[in-house]
Each structure stands twice: as C-alpha cells, then as structure tokens.
Amino acid sequence: MSAGAVRVKVDEHRCVGAGQCAWIAPKVFDQRASDGIVMLLQPHPGPEDLPWVREAVERCPARAITLEHDDIEHDDIEQDGIEHPAQGDPR
Ligand code: SF4
C-alpha cells in the first residue's frame, strides 16, 4: 500500500441515514435499502474521489465518517485517542 493512503471509516451506530455521503460521493458510499444506514463501498478512495469524501465528512450531520492515514504507526496514536502524526504537518 502506498504511503499516505487515506482510509475511510464509517460508524453505522452514529449514522442517521441522512444520505448526504451517498449523494456527494456515490462511488464510496451507499445506503442500505432497508433503513438508509451508510454502507462503505470503497475504504481506500483514489485521489479523484478524495475531495468528495472530504465534503461528505464535513456534511455528515452525525459525524459518522472519519478519515485516517494508513501510514500512521500505532505509536503515533496516544492515549487520548487522537492521532498525532509525526510528519506531514505543514506548520
Ligand atoms: S451522511 Fe452521515 S448520517 Fe447520512 S448516511 Fe452518510 S454517514 Fe449516515
């Protein structure tokens, strides 16, 4: 897997089935026919889909979508549960 690949995660328990994600990024998200809960179609979206995935993250009313970088080592995830990447911060 290439360094810096982005992984999408969805939390079905938080999802309220609003459907913005499937509308904004239909190659990455869909909804279950029975209850509208999000289904993740593509956990590793390509660069062409990433802007739409980020838009879906911002517009999800339940904050049920998160992005992670696959190159983050376990040690970079501290006990507060927040990822602290050692590199890539432009500041
Ligand atoms: S936008 Fe959020 S709440 Fe709506 S279906 Fe997608 S994950 Fe669920």
Alpha helices in 1-91 (DSSP H): 20-24, 50-59
pTM of the prediction? 0.75
Cα–Cα distance, 57 to 59 (Å, whole number) = 6
Indicate the pairing of strand 38-40 with strand 29-31.
antiparallel
Ligand 1 pocket check for 25: Cβ under 6 Å = no
pLDDT tens across 26-40, in order? Answer: 999 999 999 999 999
Query: Do the Cβ atoms of 53 and 61 come closer than 8 Å?
Result: no
Domains and CATH numbers, the chain: 6-74 (3.30.70.20)
Residue nearest to atom 4 of ligand 1 (CA): 18
Two structure tokens written together for 66? 């998160």
Ligand 1 pocket check for 18: Cβ under 6 Å = yes
Which of the pair, 90 or 61, is modelled with greater confidence? Answer: 61
Indicate the pairing of strand 65-69 with strand 38-40.
unpaired
